């Protein structure tokens, strides 16, 4: 039997433990935050982060962690007052939506942050709001938001990244601040509960939709092409991430 020096054995065990820890903590809000070739204003609002496109007065992405505990805790009633976001260079105003025919649609849903008053109020900042058709906002988009909360409950912890698809199509502009009306919206959900990493992504037209939500499943790579965003830029050589970015498997989410 070969006797392994104590120092060498200690280093080997440290490396094994470090690799195991790295695998378990592969996903975080820091490394899930998308990179962009466009000039976006990245704002950390504590409960979610966003990449704000001042040209369109919309956020290209909003990212946050959603947990089972968050969705099972309903401590506050829905807020009612939309607020200018003073953290961005040119914020849309709630009045831009008056008589426009469009809802003030949340990107990070208010119901996801009903566990804390401050968190709830933060979702009513106008940087987290996009013009959405009423039938869309109150229809399939709402259904998808509800499904995401059920996934948080089932999977313990998920990362959600969602936003407006702004550059390929526009339904025009509204209000004094010329807020762009997106043609489409996307949502990405990543299960970060080790070891059951999985992801699902959706793109939905800003319209009255009738189909089951799983009809609108796409790959994360498809969303990268549509938005010019780069999701998980630090992990391009990681096969786990690459597989997730190309997956359209819905069975594991049903």
Q: CB-hemisphere CA count at 13 Å for 161?
A: 27
pLDDT in tens, the chain (254 residues): 444 444 433 333 333 332 333 344 577 888 889 999 889 999 999 999 999 999 999 999 999 999 999 999 988 999 989 999 999 999 999 999 999 999 999 999 999 999 999 999 999 999 999 999 999 999 999 999 999 999 999 999 999 999 999 877 778 999 999 999 999 999 999 998 777 789 999 999 999 999 999 999 999 999 999 999 999 888 878 888 888 899 999 999 98
pLDDT at 207: 97
Tokens of 24: 């378990």
pLDDT at 1: 44
Q: Does domain 28-253 have CATH number 3.40.50.1460?
A: no
pLDDT at 10: 34
Print the SS3 string covering the chain. Answer: CCCCCHHHHHHHHHHHHHHHHHHHCCCCHHHHCCEECCCCEEEECCCCEEEEECCCCEEEEEEEEEEHHHHHCCCCCCCCCCECCCCCCCCCCHHHHCCCCCEEEECCCHHHHCCCHHHHHHCCEHHHEEEECHHHHCCHHHHHHHHHHHHHHHHCEEEEEEEEEEEEEEEEEECCCCEEEEEEEEEEEEECCCCCCEEEEEEEECCCCCCCHHHHEECHHHHHHHHCEECCHHHCCCHHHHHHHHCCCCHHHC
pLDDT at 193: 76
Domain boundaries, the chain: 28-253
pLDDT at 7: 40
Give the pTM. 0.88
- Cβ atoms of 100 and 175 closer than 8 Å: yes
- Cβ atoms of 55 and 45 closer than 8 Å: no
pLDDT at 221: 96
């Amino acid at each position: 039997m070969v006797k392994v020096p104590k120092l060498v054995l200690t280093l080997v065990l440290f490396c094994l433990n470090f690799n195991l820890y790295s695998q378990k903590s592969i996903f975080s809000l820091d490394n899930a935050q998308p990179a962009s070739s466009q000039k976006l204003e990245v704002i950390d609002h504590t409960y979610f982060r966003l990449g704000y496109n001042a040209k369109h007065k919309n956020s290209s992405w909003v990212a946050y962690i959603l947990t089972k505990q968050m969705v099972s805790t309903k401590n506050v009633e829905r807020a009612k007052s939309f607020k200018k976001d003073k953290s961005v260079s040119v914020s849309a105003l709630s009045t831009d939506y008056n008589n426009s025919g469009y809802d003030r649609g949340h990107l990070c849903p208010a119901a996801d942050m009903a566990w804390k008053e401050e968190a709830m109020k933060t979702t009513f900042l106008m940087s987290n709001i996009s013009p959405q058709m009423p039938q869309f906002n109150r229809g399939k988009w709402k259904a998808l938001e509800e499904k995401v909360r059920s996934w948080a409950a089932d999977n313990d912890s998920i990362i959600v990244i969602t936003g407006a698809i702004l550059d390929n199509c526009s339904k025009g502009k509204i209000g004094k601040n010329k807020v762009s009306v997106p043609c489409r919206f996307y949502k990405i959900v990543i299960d970060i509960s080790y070891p059951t990493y999985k992801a699902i992504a959706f793109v939905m037209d800003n319209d009255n939709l009738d189909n089951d939500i799983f009809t609108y499943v796409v790959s994360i790579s498809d969303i990268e092409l549509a938005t010019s965003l780069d999701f998980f830029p630090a992990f391009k050589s990681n096969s786990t991430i690459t597989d997730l970015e190309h997956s359209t498997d819905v069975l594991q989410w049903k």
